[in-house]
Structure 1
Amino acid sequence: MFKKWKKVILAGAISLSLVGTGYIGHDLISTPNVSAESASAISPGHLKNAATSQLDEIIDRGYIRVGMTGDYKPFTYLNPKTNEYEGYDVDAAKELGKDLGVKVRLVSTTWPDMMKDLHADKFDIAVGGVTRNTARQKTAYVSQGYITFGKAPLVRAEDKDKYLTIEDINKPAVRIGVNPGGTNEVFVRQHLSNANVTVVQNNLDIPHLVADGTYDVMITDTVEAMTYAKADQRLYAALTDDPFTKNEKGYMIPRGDFIYASYLEMWMDEMKLQGKFDALYKKWIE
């Protein structure tokens, strides 16, 4: 027993001696403090706070640049009679500008060029029926969803019971019109490769071409299909209650800007809480 106590006393004496010399104080006490300070200096939050956010740039310049295609009713439509954009997301963009205290400048883009134009800093945000998906999220930041939809066929009213499944449409005799560069074309290429597919540059032309018999089917979002069917009695929006896919629309901004993305998400939360998205749905879709 005496030997064990002797070892304990000896170990304690050595420890006190090391503290007295400053050895432990330097290597075992000071080092953790140095590490914590270094970690704080390189933490993500520290770096983000030090960087300039695009949100600050928008507010400082006094306007936000909003990219849209103008060919995707009811979200965005460039009216040739007025040469003005109109639609659900045009109104939503105006609400965003009002909340920011800045003016809104609408910038024309196309579905094939939308991501490239966003990366080239041609606009601050892309809106107008942008589908949320992981492919876009790889190179941009896509917000939370604000409306749910799915891919469905827009057909002639006389064919409303003819094209109800992928198998019904995926045949060489079925003529499909689809716009280029977006999720509609992606869906068609993946699931309807046996059909007779034509890429139509102007998305606005396709519903009329289905109605007059040039094409049999337009694959599009349920919301757009319902919009055209409501406007033209020759057309029918099939499978709107049970579409081929389930997706959401969102807004797209450059990735890597935590401050800007956080603001966008909170603004969208407020749009939902205050019933403003509901009001836009009633105005443009119901």
Structure 2
Amino acid sequence: MRTIKNTMLLGTLLSLSFAAHAEEKLSHLDAVQQKGELRVCTTGDYKPYTFKRTDGAYEGIDIAMAQSLADSLGVKVEWVQTTWKNLMPDMQAGKCDIGVGGISVTLERQKKAFFSNTLDVDGKIPLVRCAEQAKYQSIEQINQANVRLVEPAGGTNEAFVHAFLPKAQLALHDNVTIFEQLLDNKADVMITDASEALYQQKLKPGLCAVNPSQFMQYGEKAYLLPRDDISWKLYVDQWLHLSKVTGKYQKVLSEWIAVPVAE
């Protein structure tokens, strides 16, 4: 009888060990499908990529693409509100399956997370009042003590200013009403990505993107992914590749991005 009990106990322990091992080995891709939910971290403050409307719904290029990714997996989207300052901590804390919203590729971010394959090339340029474009054509012209810069906190725009424009005055402002700071003459220049500058140029007469095809700093956009499992990155990369070759990605872009004005 004792032998039978010992055998049963051993079998139970082996079953528990196998179950724990199986759970431990569950890939991120399998986990998303098993939960039936894709947790998408986004700031909701960076048009045309991500914007949280007053009714609480999100819209933008990357919002549409995130929904497409969820559809490909047969799961629902769970939007996770974050900020540029908290995006990486939230990713490392396991709150996100993917981070979207015009995220720039940097080596510092690469040290802590995976990036998807590149979405687009998109470098830093000045956004200014149209009447003053000639004053802000170069880093040398902008890096002056009397120039008032305005940037959102915690992103690559602020980092660019600290690195290349230390002499200018810098004010940090929320990324939703920041463009009124320029229009109301409370700031002179915002350094941002060419895509955002061109979008705001179309949206707000009086603002102009300075030399949108001549970047002050080269940049790329991609999606941010947790660095816990390569299978998840491989799936996202393949989905993105197919979205591009079938024209789905370009269709989403065309609904938001203005055609650059010929110089």
Q: TM-score, normalised by structure 2?
A: 0.88
**How far did 1:144 drift?**
1.1
Superposed, 1:214-233 pairs within 5 Å as: 214-233=186-205
Higher Cα Rg: structure 1 or 2?
1
Structure 2 alignment gaps of length 5 or more: 1-20, 259-263
Q: Which has the higher helix share?
A: 1
Q: Give yes or no for contact 2:85–2:154 (8 Å, CA) kept in 1.
A: yes
**How far did 1:186 drift?**
0.6
**How far did 1:278 drift?**
0.8
Matching residue of 2:236: 264
Of 63, 72, 75, the match for 2:37: 63
Matching residue of 1:189: 162
Of 48, 61, 79, the match for 1:74: 48
Of 147, 151, 168, the match for 1:174: 147
Q: Secondary structure at the match of 2:77?
A: strand
Q: Give yes or no for contact 2:119–2:220 (8 Å, CA) kept in 1.
A: yes
Per-residue displacement from partner, 1:207-229 (whole Å, max 9, x unpaired)?
A: 11101100000111111111111
**How far did 1:256 drift?**
3.5
CA distance in 2 between counterparts of 1:69 and 1:158 reads 31
**Poorly superposed stretches of 4+, deviation over 3 Å:** none
Matching residue of 2:18: none
CA distance in 2 between counterparts of 1:237 and 1:68 reads 25
Matched, 1:248 2:220: yes
Q: Secondary structure at the match of 2:100?
A: strand
Matching residue of 2:64: 91
**How far did 1:270 drift?**
0.6
Per-residue displacement from partner, 1:81-119 (whole Å, max 9, x unpaired)?
A: x32110000000010001011011111000000000011
Q: Give yes or no for contact 2:96–2:226 (8 Å, CA) kept in 1.
A: no
Superposed, 1:1-286 pairs within 5 Å as: 51-80=25-54, 82-200=55-173, 202-286=174-258
Structure 1 alignment gaps of length 5 or more: 1-46
Q: TM-score, normalised by structure 1?
A: 0.81
CA distance in 2 between counterparts of 1:229 and 1:79 reads 20
Q: Secondary structure at the match of 1:130?
A: coil
Matching residue of 2:12: none
Q: Give yes or no for contact 1:170–1:192 (8 Å, CA) kept in 2.
A: yes
CA distance in 2 between counterparts of 1:275 and 1:203 reads 30
Number of aligned residue pairs: 238
